[in-house]
Chains A and B, each alone.
Chain A
Amino acid sequence: MTSLVANKVSVRAGDTLIVEDASLSIKPGELVAILGANGAGKTSLLRALLGITKASSGAAYINGEDCFGMPPSKRAKIVSYLPQRRPLAWPLRVRDVIALGRFAHGAALGRLSSVDKAAVEEAIESCKLGQLQGRSTDNLSGGELARVHFARAIAAKAPLLIADEPVAELDPRHQILVADLIRQFVTNGGGALVVLHEVALAARIADRLIWMKNGRIIADGTPQETLTSQTMEDVYGVKAHVSSDPRGFDIRVEAAT
Protein backbone atom coordinates (compact mmCIF):
# COMPACT_ATOMS: atom_id res chain seq x y z
CA MET A 1 0.00 0.00 0.00
CA THR A 2 1.36 3.38 -1.03
CA SER A 3 1.92 5.74 1.86
CA LEU A 4 3.99 8.69 2.97
CA VAL A 5 4.92 8.69 6.63
CA ALA A 6 6.93 11.34 8.45
CA ASN A 7 8.39 10.53 11.82
CA LYS A 8 9.56 13.43 14.00
CA VAL A 9 10.95 15.45 11.10
CA SER A 10 12.79 18.63 12.07
CA VAL A 11 14.19 21.27 9.75
CA ARG A 12 16.78 23.81 10.78
CA ALA A 13 17.89 27.00 9.02
CA GLY A 14 21.06 28.10 10.75
CA ASP A 15 20.22 28.23 14.44
CA THR A 16 16.47 28.51 13.93
CA LEU A 17 14.26 25.47 14.14
CA ILE A 18 11.69 25.92 11.36
CA VAL A 19 9.98 22.56 11.72
CA GLU A 20 10.09 20.62 14.96
CA ASP A 21 9.30 16.92 15.38
CA ALA A 22 6.57 16.82 12.77
CA SER A 23 4.91 13.44 12.35
CA LEU A 24 2.18 12.72 9.85
CA SER A 25 1.01 10.21 7.31
CA ILE A 26 -1.02 10.18 4.13
CA LYS A 27 -2.34 7.34 2.06
CA PRO A 28 -4.45 6.96 -1.09
CA GLY A 29 -8.10 7.92 -0.80
CA GLU A 30 -7.28 10.62 1.72
CA LEU A 31 -7.17 14.40 1.33
CA VAL A 32 -5.16 16.01 4.08
CA ALA A 33 -4.90 19.79 4.38
CA ILE A 34 -2.12 21.55 6.25
CA LEU A 35 -3.19 24.82 7.82
CA GLY A 36 -1.15 27.42 9.63
CA ALA A 37 -0.15 31.06 9.70
CA ASN A 38 2.52 32.44 7.37
CA GLY A 39 5.90 31.20 8.53
CA ALA A 40 4.48 28.24 10.47
CA GLY A 41 6.79 25.86 8.59
CA LYS A 42 4.29 24.30 6.19
CA THR A 43 6.34 24.69 3.02
CA SER A 44 9.56 23.69 4.81
CA LEU A 45 7.90 20.51 6.04
CA LEU A 46 6.72 19.61 2.51
CA ARG A 47 10.13 20.34 1.04
CA ALA A 48 11.80 18.17 3.67
CA LEU A 49 9.39 15.30 2.97
CA LEU A 50 10.35 15.52 -0.72
CA GLY A 51 14.06 15.65 0.02
CA ILE A 52 14.38 19.14 -1.56
CA THR A 53 15.61 20.59 1.74
CA LYS A 54 17.54 18.48 4.19
CA ALA A 55 15.78 17.49 7.40
CA SER A 56 18.02 18.02 10.41
CA SER A 57 16.54 15.04 12.21
CA GLY A 58 13.73 12.53 11.93
CA ALA A 59 12.82 10.27 9.04
CA ALA A 60 10.30 10.04 6.25
CA TYR A 61 9.25 6.95 4.40
CA ILE A 62 7.56 6.40 1.06
CA ASN A 63 6.12 2.90 0.94
CA GLY A 64 8.34 2.05 3.89
CA GLU A 65 11.48 3.18 2.07
CA ASP A 66 13.59 6.05 3.39
CA CYS A 67 12.64 8.96 1.15
CA PHE A 68 15.57 11.24 2.02
CA GLY A 69 18.00 8.90 0.29
CA MET A 70 15.69 7.97 -2.57
CA PRO A 71 16.78 9.00 -6.11
CA PRO A 72 14.61 11.95 -7.25
CA SER A 73 13.35 10.08 -10.31
CA LYS A 74 12.10 7.16 -8.21
CA ARG A 75 10.42 9.46 -5.67
CA ALA A 76 8.76 11.47 -8.43
CA LYS A 77 6.98 8.35 -9.72
CA ILE A 78 5.27 7.93 -6.34
CA VAL A 79 4.77 11.53 -5.21
CA SER A 80 4.09 14.41 -7.54
CA TYR A 81 4.76 17.92 -6.28
CA LEU A 82 3.13 21.23 -7.09
CA PRO A 83 5.23 23.98 -5.50
CA GLN A 84 3.97 27.30 -4.24
CA ARG A 85 5.96 29.36 -6.75
CA ARG A 86 5.29 28.25 -10.29
CA PRO A 87 7.52 30.27 -12.62
CA LEU A 88 7.68 29.52 -16.33
CA ALA A 89 11.00 30.56 -17.79
CA TRP A 90 9.82 30.12 -21.39
CA PRO A 91 6.34 30.45 -22.88
CA LEU A 92 5.89 26.73 -23.54
CA ARG A 93 2.68 25.40 -25.05
CA VAL A 94 0.05 24.24 -22.55
CA ARG A 95 0.37 20.68 -23.78
CA ASP A 96 4.15 20.70 -23.35
CA VAL A 97 3.93 21.96 -19.76
CA ILE A 98 1.55 19.11 -18.95
CA ALA A 99 3.83 16.63 -20.74
CA LEU A 100 6.68 17.68 -18.41
CA GLY A 101 4.68 15.84 -15.76
CA ARG A 102 5.89 12.65 -17.48
CA PHE A 103 9.57 13.57 -16.92
CA ALA A 104 10.21 10.83 -14.34
CA HIS A 105 8.91 8.28 -16.84
CA GLY A 106 11.58 9.33 -19.33
CA ALA A 107 9.37 11.44 -21.57
CA ALA A 108 10.96 14.08 -23.81
CA LEU A 109 8.82 16.87 -25.23
CA GLY A 110 7.81 16.25 -28.81
CA ARG A 111 8.61 12.52 -28.57
CA LEU A 112 6.07 11.07 -26.14
CA SER A 113 5.44 7.34 -25.91
CA SER A 114 1.86 6.11 -26.23
CA VAL A 115 1.65 5.63 -22.44
CA ASP A 116 2.87 9.20 -21.86
CA LYS A 117 0.46 10.53 -24.48
CA ALA A 118 -2.46 8.75 -22.85
CA ALA A 119 -1.57 10.17 -19.41
CA VAL A 120 -1.27 13.68 -20.85
CA GLU A 121 -4.63 13.33 -22.66
CA GLU A 122 -6.26 12.15 -19.45
CA ALA A 123 -4.87 15.08 -17.46
CA ILE A 124 -6.03 17.53 -20.16
CA GLU A 125 -9.45 15.92 -20.14
CA SER A 126 -9.95 15.96 -16.39
CA CYS A 127 -8.76 19.57 -16.04
CA LYS A 128 -10.91 20.60 -19.03
CA LEU A 129 -7.98 22.09 -20.92
CA GLY A 130 -8.82 20.65 -24.32
CA GLN A 131 -9.50 24.07 -25.80
CA LEU A 132 -6.27 25.51 -24.46
CA GLN A 133 -3.81 22.71 -25.15
CA GLY A 134 -2.23 24.30 -28.22
CA ARG A 135 -2.01 27.77 -26.67
CA SER A 136 1.16 29.39 -25.43
CA THR A 137 1.28 29.73 -21.63
CA ASP A 138 2.13 33.42 -21.79
CA ASN A 139 -1.39 34.43 -22.74
CA LEU A 140 -3.36 32.49 -20.14
CA SER A 141 -5.17 33.92 -17.13
CA GLY A 142 -4.03 33.08 -13.58
CA GLY A 143 -6.90 30.65 -13.18
CA GLU A 144 -6.13 28.87 -16.44
CA LEU A 145 -2.45 28.64 -15.51
CA ALA A 146 -3.32 27.14 -12.12
CA ARG A 147 -5.27 24.40 -13.92
CA VAL A 148 -2.38 23.80 -16.33
CA HIS A 149 0.05 23.34 -13.43
CA PHE A 150 -2.38 21.05 -11.69
CA ALA A 151 -2.79 18.99 -14.87
CA ARG A 152 1.02 18.77 -15.07
CA ALA A 153 1.08 17.41 -11.51
CA ILE A 154 -1.53 14.71 -12.11
CA ALA A 155 -0.13 13.72 -15.52
CA ALA A 156 2.66 11.97 -13.59
CA LYS A 157 0.01 9.44 -12.48
CA ALA A 158 1.76 9.24 -9.13
CA PRO A 159 -0.47 7.81 -6.39
CA LEU A 160 0.35 10.70 -4.03
CA LEU A 161 0.21 14.45 -4.59
CA ILE A 162 1.78 17.20 -2.52
CA ALA A 163 0.49 20.66 -3.41
CA ASP A 164 1.61 23.91 -1.82
CA GLU A 165 -1.11 26.57 -1.89
CA PRO A 166 -2.66 25.40 -5.15
CA VAL A 167 -5.48 27.95 -4.91
CA ALA A 168 -3.54 30.99 -3.73
CA GLU A 169 -4.31 34.18 -5.68
CA LEU A 170 -7.28 32.62 -7.48
CA ASP A 171 -10.76 34.05 -7.67
CA PRO A 172 -13.52 32.16 -5.76
CA ARG A 173 -14.69 30.31 -8.86
CA HIS A 174 -11.22 29.06 -9.75
CA GLN A 175 -10.56 28.15 -6.12
CA ILE A 176 -13.58 25.87 -6.26
CA LEU A 177 -12.56 24.49 -9.67
CA VAL A 178 -9.07 23.56 -8.47
CA ALA A 179 -10.38 22.24 -5.14
CA ASP A 180 -12.79 20.02 -7.05
CA LEU A 181 -9.91 18.73 -9.18
CA ILE A 182 -8.01 17.79 -6.02
CA ARG A 183 -11.10 16.12 -4.60
CA GLN A 184 -11.58 14.24 -7.87
CA PHE A 185 -7.94 13.08 -7.76
CA VAL A 186 -8.57 11.63 -4.28
CA THR A 187 -11.88 10.06 -5.27
CA ASN A 188 -10.06 8.32 -8.12
CA GLY A 189 -7.79 6.68 -5.58
CA GLY A 190 -5.02 9.25 -5.05
CA GLY A 191 -3.75 10.61 -1.76
CA ALA A 192 -3.20 14.37 -1.40
CA LEU A 193 -1.37 16.55 1.09
CA VAL A 194 -2.30 20.17 0.42
CA VAL A 195 -1.28 23.42 2.06
CA LEU A 196 -4.21 25.81 2.19
CA HIS A 197 -4.87 29.21 3.68
CA GLU A 198 -8.59 29.09 3.05
CA VAL A 199 -9.86 27.43 6.23
CA ALA A 200 -13.47 27.11 5.08
CA LEU A 201 -12.40 25.53 1.78
CA ALA A 202 -10.07 23.14 3.61
CA ALA A 203 -12.84 22.12 5.98
CA ARG A 204 -15.12 21.52 3.02
CA ILE A 205 -12.84 19.31 0.95
CA ALA A 206 -10.36 17.70 3.37
CA ASP A 207 -10.78 14.44 5.24
CA ARG A 208 -8.23 15.53 7.79
CA LEU A 209 -6.72 18.84 8.87
CA ILE A 210 -3.18 19.23 10.16
CA TRP A 211 -2.68 22.46 12.09
CA MET A 212 0.80 23.92 12.40
CA LYS A 213 2.11 26.66 14.64
CA ASN A 214 5.70 27.80 15.00
CA GLY A 215 7.03 24.70 13.28
CA ARG A 216 5.04 22.22 15.35
CA ILE A 217 1.94 20.23 14.50
CA ILE A 218 -0.53 21.14 17.23
CA ALA A 219 -3.60 19.29 15.98
CA ASP A 220 -4.33 16.53 13.46
CA GLY A 221 -7.83 15.24 12.94
CA THR A 222 -11.08 15.55 11.02
CA PRO A 223 -12.55 19.04 10.52
CA GLN A 224 -15.28 18.18 13.05
CA GLU A 225 -12.67 17.32 15.68
CA THR A 226 -10.15 20.09 15.11
CA LEU A 227 -11.84 23.13 13.58
CA THR A 228 -12.81 25.08 16.70
CA SER A 229 -12.61 28.65 17.94
CA GLN A 230 -9.76 27.52 20.13
CA THR A 231 -7.65 26.15 17.22
CA MET A 232 -8.34 29.29 15.20
CA GLU A 233 -7.04 31.37 18.08
CA ASP A 234 -4.04 29.12 18.74
CA VAL A 235 -2.99 28.84 15.10
CA TYR A 236 -3.89 32.18 13.55
CA GLY A 237 -4.21 34.42 16.60
CA VAL A 238 -7.75 35.45 15.72
CA LYS A 239 -11.01 35.45 17.61
CA ALA A 240 -13.36 33.43 15.42
CA HIS A 241 -16.83 32.09 15.76
CA VAL A 242 -17.06 28.56 14.34
CA SER A 243 -20.34 26.75 13.86
CA SER A 244 -21.27 23.77 11.80
CA ASP A 245 -24.38 22.21 10.41
CA PRO A 246 -24.78 19.24 8.05
CA ARG A 247 -24.05 21.49 5.06
CA GLY A 248 -20.65 22.56 6.35
CA PHE A 249 -18.77 25.01 8.51
CA ASP A 250 -19.44 28.64 9.08
CA ILE A 251 -16.38 30.57 10.19
CA ARG A 252 -16.69 34.19 11.18
CA VAL A 253 -13.42 35.88 12.02
CA GLU A 254 -14.14 38.69 14.45
CA ALA A 255 -10.84 40.16 15.61
CA ALA A 256 -7.13 39.64 15.82
CA THR A 257 -5.97 38.77 19.31
Chain B
Amino acid sequence: MTSRRLIFILGVASLVCIVVACAFGSTPMDFTRVVSALFGLSSAGDHVVIWEIRLPRALAAYVVGAALGASGAALQGLLRNPLAEPGVLGVTATASLSATFALYYGLAASSAYLLPVYAIAGALAATALLAAAATRIKSVVTLILLGVGLSSFSAAAMSLLLNLAPNPFSLTDMINWLLGSVANRSFEDLRISMPFIVAGIAILFFSRRGLSALTLGEEAASGLGLNLSRQRIVVVVGAGVATGASVALAGAIGFVGIVAPHLIRPIVAYDPARSLLPSAMLAGVILVIADIGVRLLPTATELKLGVVAAIIGAPAFIWIAVSRRVTYD
Protein backbone atom coordinates (compact mmCIF):
# COMPACT_ATOMS: atom_id res chain seq x y z
CA MET B 1 0.00 0.00 0.00
CA THR B 2 1.31 3.48 -0.76
CA SER B 3 1.98 5.81 2.15
CA ARG B 4 -0.50 8.34 0.86
CA ARG B 5 -3.31 5.82 0.68
CA LEU B 6 -2.54 4.50 4.15
CA ILE B 7 -2.53 8.01 5.58
CA PHE B 8 -5.83 8.78 3.85
CA ILE B 9 -7.45 5.63 5.27
CA LEU B 10 -6.13 6.39 8.76
CA GLY B 11 -7.31 9.99 8.42
CA VAL B 12 -10.85 8.84 7.67
CA ALA B 13 -10.68 6.31 10.53
CA SER B 14 -9.49 9.08 12.88
CA LEU B 15 -12.43 11.33 12.01
CA VAL B 16 -14.94 8.51 12.31
CA CYS B 17 -13.58 7.43 15.71
CA ILE B 18 -13.69 10.95 17.11
CA VAL B 19 -17.28 11.50 15.94
CA VAL B 20 -18.32 8.07 17.28
CA ALA B 21 -16.61 8.86 20.60
CA CYS B 22 -18.84 11.94 20.88
CA ALA B 23 -21.92 9.70 20.75
CA PHE B 24 -21.03 7.72 23.88
CA GLY B 25 -21.34 8.83 27.47
CA SER B 26 -23.80 8.91 30.35
CA THR B 27 -26.51 10.10 27.91
CA PRO B 28 -26.19 8.23 24.61
CA MET B 29 -26.78 10.44 21.57
CA ASP B 30 -27.60 9.29 18.08
CA PHE B 31 -25.43 10.20 15.13
CA THR B 32 -27.64 13.08 13.84
CA ARG B 33 -27.64 14.75 17.26
CA VAL B 34 -23.85 14.46 17.47
CA VAL B 35 -23.31 15.91 14.01
CA SER B 36 -25.77 18.75 14.47
CA ALA B 37 -24.15 19.56 17.82
CA LEU B 38 -20.73 19.53 16.17
CA PHE B 39 -21.98 22.05 13.62
CA GLY B 40 -23.71 24.16 16.27
CA LEU B 41 -27.26 23.33 15.12
CA SER B 42 -28.50 21.58 18.24
CA SER B 43 -30.02 22.41 21.61
CA ALA B 44 -27.85 24.27 24.10
CA GLY B 45 -27.64 21.12 26.24
CA ASP B 46 -26.30 18.94 23.46
CA HIS B 47 -23.89 21.68 22.49
CA VAL B 48 -22.45 21.79 25.99
CA VAL B 49 -22.16 18.02 26.23
CA ILE B 50 -20.37 17.73 22.90
CA TRP B 51 -18.20 20.84 22.94
CA GLU B 52 -17.38 21.00 26.63
CA ILE B 53 -17.09 17.33 27.52
CA ARG B 54 -16.98 14.73 24.79
CA LEU B 55 -15.12 16.37 21.91
CA PRO B 56 -12.20 17.66 24.02
CA ARG B 57 -12.00 14.26 25.69
CA ALA B 58 -11.88 12.40 22.36
CA LEU B 59 -9.37 14.87 20.94
CA ALA B 60 -7.21 14.55 24.05
CA ALA B 61 -7.18 10.75 23.67
CA TYR B 62 -6.28 11.15 19.99
CA VAL B 63 -3.40 13.60 20.40
CA VAL B 64 -1.97 11.69 23.38
CA GLY B 65 -2.04 8.52 21.27
CA ALA B 66 -0.48 10.33 18.33
CA ALA B 67 2.33 11.72 20.51
CA LEU B 68 3.09 8.28 21.96
CA GLY B 69 2.78 6.50 18.61
CA ALA B 70 5.15 8.90 16.85
CA SER B 71 7.61 8.84 19.77
CA GLY B 72 7.53 5.05 19.86
CA ALA B 73 8.09 4.71 16.10
CA ALA B 74 10.95 7.23 16.18
CA LEU B 75 12.66 5.69 19.23
CA GLN B 76 12.34 2.24 17.65
CA GLY B 77 14.00 3.59 14.51
CA LEU B 78 16.76 5.33 16.45
CA LEU B 79 17.52 2.39 18.73
CA ARG B 80 16.73 -0.20 16.03
CA ASN B 81 14.53 -2.22 18.33
CA PRO B 82 10.78 -2.86 18.15
CA LEU B 83 10.49 -2.85 21.95
CA ALA B 84 11.70 0.71 22.40
CA GLU B 85 8.83 2.92 23.55
CA PRO B 86 8.43 5.91 25.86
CA GLY B 87 6.70 3.72 28.50
CA VAL B 88 9.15 0.80 28.41
CA LEU B 89 12.17 3.11 28.34
CA GLY B 90 10.99 4.95 31.45
CA VAL B 91 10.33 8.23 29.64
CA THR B 92 6.65 8.48 30.61
CA ALA B 93 7.42 7.43 34.19
CA THR B 94 10.11 10.09 34.52
CA ALA B 95 7.79 12.69 32.99
CA SER B 96 5.02 11.67 35.43
CA LEU B 97 7.43 11.86 38.35
CA SER B 98 8.53 15.32 37.36
CA ALA B 99 4.91 16.46 36.89
CA THR B 100 3.79 14.86 40.18
CA PHE B 101 6.63 16.67 41.89
CA ALA B 102 5.27 19.95 40.51
CA LEU B 103 1.78 19.04 41.72
CA TYR B 104 3.01 17.91 45.12
CA TYR B 105 4.79 21.14 45.88
CA GLY B 106 1.95 23.18 44.44
CA LEU B 107 4.26 24.56 41.76
CA ALA B 108 1.71 23.81 39.07
CA ALA B 109 -0.77 26.23 40.61
CA SER B 110 1.18 29.37 39.68
CA SER B 111 0.89 28.87 35.91
CA ALA B 112 -1.01 26.43 33.71
CA TYR B 113 2.09 26.03 31.58
CA LEU B 114 4.28 24.82 34.45
CA LEU B 115 2.81 21.32 34.49
CA PRO B 116 3.62 20.54 30.84
CA VAL B 117 6.99 22.23 31.25
CA TYR B 118 7.81 19.95 34.20
CA ALA B 119 6.54 16.86 32.38
CA ILE B 120 8.54 17.73 29.27
CA ALA B 121 11.66 18.42 31.33
CA GLY B 122 11.33 14.98 32.93
CA ALA B 123 10.79 13.30 29.55
CA LEU B 124 13.75 15.14 28.01
CA ALA B 125 16.01 14.17 30.89
CA ALA B 126 15.09 10.50 30.44
CA THR B 127 15.43 10.47 26.63
CA ALA B 128 18.73 12.37 26.78
CA LEU B 129 20.09 9.89 29.34
CA LEU B 130 19.03 6.98 27.13
CA ALA B 131 20.51 8.48 23.98
CA ALA B 132 23.78 9.29 25.76
CA ALA B 133 23.93 5.75 27.11
CA ALA B 134 23.11 4.36 23.66
CA THR B 135 26.38 5.74 22.28
CA ARG B 136 28.33 3.68 24.81
CA ILE B 137 26.08 0.67 25.34
CA LYS B 138 26.11 -1.29 22.10
CA SER B 139 23.59 -3.88 23.23
CA VAL B 140 20.02 -2.74 22.73
CA VAL B 141 18.85 -5.22 25.36
CA THR B 142 21.08 -3.52 27.94
CA LEU B 143 19.65 -0.19 26.89
CA ILE B 144 16.09 -1.41 27.40
CA LEU B 145 17.11 -2.75 30.80
CA LEU B 146 18.44 0.72 31.58
CA GLY B 147 15.00 2.06 30.66
CA VAL B 148 13.36 -0.51 32.92
CA GLY B 149 15.67 0.62 35.72
CA LEU B 150 14.79 4.24 35.07
CA SER B 151 11.12 3.33 35.10
CA SER B 152 11.45 1.46 38.40
CA PHE B 153 13.33 4.32 39.98
CA SER B 154 10.67 6.81 38.91
CA ALA B 155 7.97 4.50 40.24
CA ALA B 156 9.80 4.24 43.56
CA ALA B 157 10.20 8.01 43.82
CA MET B 158 6.54 8.36 42.97
CA SER B 159 5.57 5.89 45.71
CA LEU B 160 7.62 8.00 48.07
CA LEU B 161 5.61 11.09 47.12
CA LEU B 162 2.36 9.13 47.57
CA ASN B 163 3.60 7.83 50.89
CA LEU B 164 4.28 11.36 52.07
CA ALA B 165 1.11 12.87 50.60
CA PRO B 166 -0.16 15.49 53.04
CA ASN B 167 -3.90 14.74 52.63
CA PRO B 168 -6.25 12.28 50.90
CA PHE B 169 -7.18 14.88 48.26
CA SER B 170 -3.67 15.28 46.92
CA LEU B 171 -3.31 11.50 47.12
CA THR B 172 -6.33 11.03 44.83
CA ASP B 173 -4.97 13.73 42.54
CA MET B 174 -1.67 11.96 42.18
CA ILE B 175 -3.19 8.53 41.74
CA ASN B 176 -5.43 9.80 38.94
CA TRP B 177 -2.33 11.13 37.32
CA LEU B 178 -0.47 7.85 37.67
CA LEU B 179 -3.22 5.74 36.21
CA GLY B 180 -3.60 7.93 33.14
CA SER B 181 -6.92 9.31 31.95
CA VAL B 182 -8.42 11.81 29.54
CA ALA B 183 -11.71 12.22 31.44
CA ASN B 184 -12.78 15.81 32.10
CA ARG B 185 -10.17 17.35 29.82
CA SER B 186 -11.17 20.71 28.40
CA PHE B 187 -10.21 22.66 25.32
CA GLU B 188 -8.17 24.82 27.68
CA ASP B 189 -6.06 21.77 28.66
CA LEU B 190 -5.67 20.91 24.99
CA ARG B 191 -4.66 24.46 24.14
CA ILE B 192 -1.79 24.25 26.61
CA SER B 193 -0.41 20.81 25.71
CA MET B 194 -1.23 20.51 22.04
CA PRO B 195 1.34 22.99 20.68
CA PHE B 196 4.08 20.93 22.35
CA ILE B 197 2.68 17.66 21.00
CA VAL B 198 2.41 19.07 17.48
CA ALA B 199 5.93 20.52 17.71
CA GLY B 200 7.34 17.21 19.00
CA ILE B 201 5.70 15.19 16.23
CA ALA B 202 6.86 17.75 13.63
CA ILE B 203 10.46 17.49 14.90
CA LEU B 204 10.30 13.70 14.67
CA PHE B 205 8.77 13.92 11.21
CA PHE B 206 11.70 15.99 9.97
CA SER B 207 14.18 13.41 11.27
CA ARG B 208 12.50 10.50 9.51
CA ARG B 209 14.94 10.04 6.63
CA GLY B 210 17.79 9.46 9.07
CA LEU B 211 15.73 6.74 10.74
CA SER B 212 15.60 4.82 7.45
CA ALA B 213 19.38 5.14 7.09
CA LEU B 214 19.88 3.81 10.62
CA THR B 215 18.35 0.50 9.51
CA LEU B 216 21.82 -0.36 8.21
CA GLY B 217 23.41 0.27 11.62
CA GLU B 218 25.17 3.39 12.88
CA GLU B 219 28.42 2.85 11.04
CA ALA B 220 26.88 2.39 7.61
CA ALA B 221 24.42 5.21 8.30
CA SER B 222 27.21 7.63 9.01
CA GLY B 223 28.96 6.32 5.88
CA LEU B 224 25.77 7.18 3.98
CA GLY B 225 26.20 10.77 5.09
CA LEU B 226 23.99 10.85 8.18
CA ASN B 227 25.12 13.18 10.95
CA LEU B 228 24.65 10.71 13.81
CA SER B 229 24.90 13.03 16.78
CA ARG B 230 22.48 15.49 15.25
CA GLN B 231 20.04 12.68 14.45
CA ARG B 232 20.17 11.49 18.06
CA ILE B 233 19.58 14.97 19.46
CA VAL B 234 16.66 15.65 17.14
CA VAL B 235 14.90 12.38 18.00
CA VAL B 236 15.54 12.83 21.72
CA VAL B 237 14.13 16.35 21.69
CA GLY B 238 11.15 15.42 19.49
CA ALA B 239 10.23 12.32 21.51
CA GLY B 240 10.87 14.10 24.81
CA VAL B 241 8.65 17.09 23.96
CA ALA B 242 5.82 14.98 22.50
CA THR B 243 5.85 12.40 25.30
CA GLY B 244 6.23 15.00 28.04
CA ALA B 245 3.29 17.02 26.72
CA SER B 246 1.16 13.88 26.41
CA VAL B 247 1.90 13.02 30.05
CA ALA B 248 0.94 16.57 31.05
CA LEU B 249 -2.39 16.07 29.31
CA ALA B 250 -3.28 12.52 30.31
CA GLY B 251 -0.77 11.14 32.79
CA ALA B 252 1.12 7.93 32.16
CA ILE B 253 -0.28 5.78 29.35
CA GLY B 254 1.92 2.93 28.25
CA PHE B 255 2.39 0.46 25.42
CA VAL B 256 0.37 2.21 22.71
CA GLY B 257 3.73 3.40 21.33
CA ILE B 258 4.76 -0.22 20.82
CA VAL B 259 1.55 -1.68 19.48
CA ALA B 260 0.76 0.92 16.79
CA PRO B 261 4.19 0.93 15.04
CA HIS B 262 4.26 -2.88 15.24
CA LEU B 263 0.99 -3.06 13.29
CA ILE B 264 2.04 -0.38 10.79
CA ARG B 265 5.54 -1.65 9.93
CA PRO B 266 4.57 -4.61 7.69
CA ILE B 267 2.23 -2.32 5.72
CA VAL B 268 5.00 0.18 4.93
CA ALA B 269 7.66 -2.45 4.06
CA TYR B 270 9.35 -1.93 7.46
CA ASP B 271 10.65 1.52 6.57
CA PRO B 272 10.97 3.50 9.85
CA ALA B 273 10.44 6.80 7.99
CA ARG B 274 7.19 5.75 6.37
CA SER B 275 5.91 4.22 9.61
CA LEU B 276 6.15 7.45 11.59
CA LEU B 277 2.99 9.34 10.64
CA PRO B 278 0.75 6.26 10.20
CA SER B 279 1.90 4.99 13.63
CA ALA B 280 0.94 8.32 15.20
CA MET B 281 -2.51 8.23 13.58
CA LEU B 282 -3.15 4.58 14.42
CA ALA B 283 -2.07 5.11 18.05
CA GLY B 284 -4.51 8.03 18.21
CA VAL B 285 -7.32 5.85 16.86
CA ILE B 286 -6.44 3.05 19.31
CA LEU B 287 -6.62 5.37 22.32
CA VAL B 288 -9.92 6.95 21.17
CA ILE B 289 -11.40 3.44 20.80
CA ALA B 290 -9.95 2.37 24.16
CA ASP B 291 -11.47 5.47 25.72
CA ILE B 292 -14.87 4.57 24.23
CA GLY B 293 -14.40 1.09 25.75
CA VAL B 294 -13.65 2.62 29.13
CA ARG B 295 -17.00 4.43 29.05
CA LEU B 296 -18.97 1.42 27.79
CA LEU B 297 -17.73 -1.11 30.33
CA PRO B 298 -20.36 -1.38 33.06
CA THR B 299 -18.09 -0.92 36.07
CA ALA B 300 -19.05 0.89 39.28
CA THR B 301 -16.13 3.32 38.97
CA GLU B 302 -15.05 4.35 35.49
CA LEU B 303 -11.88 2.56 34.43
CA LYS B 304 -8.82 4.68 33.73
CA LEU B 305 -7.57 4.79 30.13
CA GLY B 306 -3.97 4.09 31.20
CA VAL B 307 -5.06 0.95 33.04
CA VAL B 308 -6.93 -0.40 30.01
CA ALA B 309 -4.03 0.49 27.69
CA ALA B 310 -1.61 -1.43 29.92
CA ILE B 311 -3.93 -4.43 30.30
CA ILE B 312 -4.07 -4.77 26.50
CA GLY B 313 -0.59 -3.44 25.75
CA ALA B 314 1.55 -5.43 28.18
CA PRO B 315 0.62 -8.85 26.74
CA ALA B 316 1.21 -7.40 23.25
CA PHE B 317 4.67 -6.29 24.42
CA ILE B 318 5.43 -9.79 25.66
CA TRP B 319 4.19 -11.31 22.43
CA ILE B 320 6.35 -8.99 20.29
CA ALA B 321 9.39 -9.68 22.49
CA VAL B 322 8.96 -13.43 22.23
CA SER B 323 8.21 -13.59 18.51
CA ARG B 324 11.00 -11.20 17.51
CA ARG B 325 12.96 -12.57 14.57
CA VAL B 326 15.60 -9.92 13.97
CA THR B 327 18.31 -10.24 16.58
CA TYR B 328 20.66 -7.34 16.52
CA ASP B 329 22.91 -7.19 19.55
Q: Is B326 an interface residue (CB 8 A)?
A: yes
1/0 per residue, CB under 8 A from A, across B195-236: the answer is: 000000000000011001111110110111111000000000
Interface residue count on the B side (C-beta < 8 Å): 31
Q: Is B189 an interface residue (CB 8 A)?
A: no
Interface residue count on the A side (C-beta < 8 Å): 36
B224's partner among A89, A92, A93, A100 (CB-CB below 8 A) is A100
Identify which of residues 212-262 in chain B touch chain A, using a CB-to-CB cut-off of 8 Å: 212-217, 219-220, 222-227
Q: Is B328 an interface residue (CB 8 A)?
A: yes
The count of A-to-B residue pairs whose CB atoms sit within 8 angstroms is 106
A197, B214: Cα distance in complex, Å: 28
Across-interface contacts of A89 in B (CB, < 8 A) = 80-81, 214-217, 326, 328
Cross-chain contact A92 with B270 (CB below 8 angstroms): yes
A75's partner among B2, B214, B225 (CB-CB below 8 A) is B225
Across-interface contacts of A50 in B (CB, < 8 A) = 222-223
A109, B212: Cα distance in complex, Å: 8
**Which of A85, A96, A108, A110 is most buried by chain B, counting CB atoms within 10 A of its CB?**
A110
Which residue on chain B has the smallest CB distance to residue A75?
Answer: B225
Across-interface contacts of B3 in A (CB, < 8 A) = 110
A47, B220: Cα distance in complex, Å: 11
Identify which of residues 185-227 in chain A touch chain B, using a CB-to-CB cut-off of 8 Å: none
Cross-chain contact B326 with A91 (CB below 8 angstroms): yes
**Is the contact region of chain A dominated by helix, strand, or loop, or is it mixed?**
mixed
A72/B216 contact (C-beta < 8 A), A89-B328, A110-B271 known: no
B-to-A contact residues, CB < 8 Å: 2-3, 80-81, 208-209, 212-217, 219-220, 222-227, 265, 268-274, 325-326, 328
12 A-B pairs in the complex with CB atoms less than 8 angstroms apart: A52-B219, A74-B225, A75-B225, A77-B225, A86-B216, A87-B216, A88-B216, A97-B215, A103-B209, A108-B209, A108-B212, A138-B325
